[in-house]
Amino acid sequence: MKKFASYFLVAAALMGSVPMATAAPVPFNEPPGSQARKIVNVVLADYINARTGIQIGVSVVDVDQDGTGEIVARFVHSGSCRAGMEECRTVMLRHDPDKNWQIILDKTTKKIEVLVDQAKKNRPAPIKTDNVTWNWSYPSYKPVLETAGKPVEFKPLPDSLVAQIAPAFGPGAAKLVADHGALNFEYAEPAISGSLKSILVRMNGLNACGALAGCPMRLLVQNGKNWTPILQVSAEPGVALSDVDRGGYRDLVLSTKSGLVVMGWNGSAYAVAERLEQSIPEKKR
């Protein structure tokens, strides 16, 4: 990731920014010649220069109430927005102790709010992008699963189904189950579609889960005595069922080490539709 140096632009220029009194959409009202806009032009120069005719909205908000404003920038361009030009790339910049401007939030969104009424002492206030809340998790913001959908509750898979389900996780899993290996399965029944009966199964035990990827998970539909996977993924504990649907199938939101990943229906199976991940600023070399 590119290191964002402040060059000759200093945080002092943003001292005394007015804190937001209540939660409300951030207004992008900084004039084109403002110091904040100049900082955005430097920090994201490569991104801006690659998009002819890009429109940039800038705002200054003091999310941590330290007297120095953070910068929020919104980019409106066909290469920055989704279809309809309502959801556009929006970033928040913060001046770090090494005097570099770092991206602490990066999301394609319709609007962004600073939840000042939920702020805690000596901690940046939560941020809301559309329907998802992001909490401060040093060194940047991380999305909150519970705000992206209704959490899915897992329970132990009945023993009578284990032998049928295990093959969906590969021949190795089926063999371990047949040999009475130390694998166990949990399942949930999220209502992804009114026309489709499915179960979401998570496998763990006996090194099934990885430190980075998490535990294997399958969304299965029954075909006679067999179960066919329409989602095959590994994820951290924590799954939510979104209100968003694609073609009559609701999104599933999965937890990852760096945030959340939204899985959406593509007509034949579930695939990655969107990532909501924590921005990790580059360390100074």
Express each pLDDT in 124-168 by its tens digit.
Answer: 999 999 999 999 999 999 999 999 999 999 999 998 898 889 999
Examine the domain organization and report whether 82 and 188 are in the same domain: no
Structural domains of the chain, count: 2
Examine the domain organization and report whether 182 and 217 are in the same domain: yes
**Which pLDDT value is given to residue 284?**
43
Q: Is the per-residue pLDDT at 26 higher than 70?
A: yes
**Which pLDDT value is given to residue 282?**
63
SS (H, E, C) the chain: CCCCECCCCCHHHHECCCCCCCCCECCCCCCCCCHHHHHHHHHCHHHHHCCCCCEEEEEEECCCCCCECEEEEEEECCCCECCCCCCEEEEEEEECCCCEEEEEEEEEECCEEECHHHCCCCCCCCEEECCEEEEEECCEEEECHHHCCEECCCEECCHHHHHHHHHHHCHHHHHHHHCCCCCEEEEECCCCCCCCCEEEEEEECCCCCECCCEEEEEEEEEECCEEEEEEEEEEEEEEEEEEEEECCEEEEEEEECCEEEEEEECCCCEEEEEEEECCCCCCCC
**Can you give the pTM of this predicted structure?**
0.87
* Structural domain ending residue among the three candidates 87, 122, 141: 141
Examine the domain organization and report whether 113 and 161 are in the same domain: no
Examine the domain organization and report whether 107 and 183 are in the same domain: no
Range of the domain at 251: 150-277
Examine the domain organization and report whether 234 and 171 are in the same domain: yes
Give domain status of residue 283, yes or no.
no
Examine the domain organization and report whether 167 and 263 are in the same domain: yes
Examine the domain organization and report whether 198 and 271 are in the same domain: yes
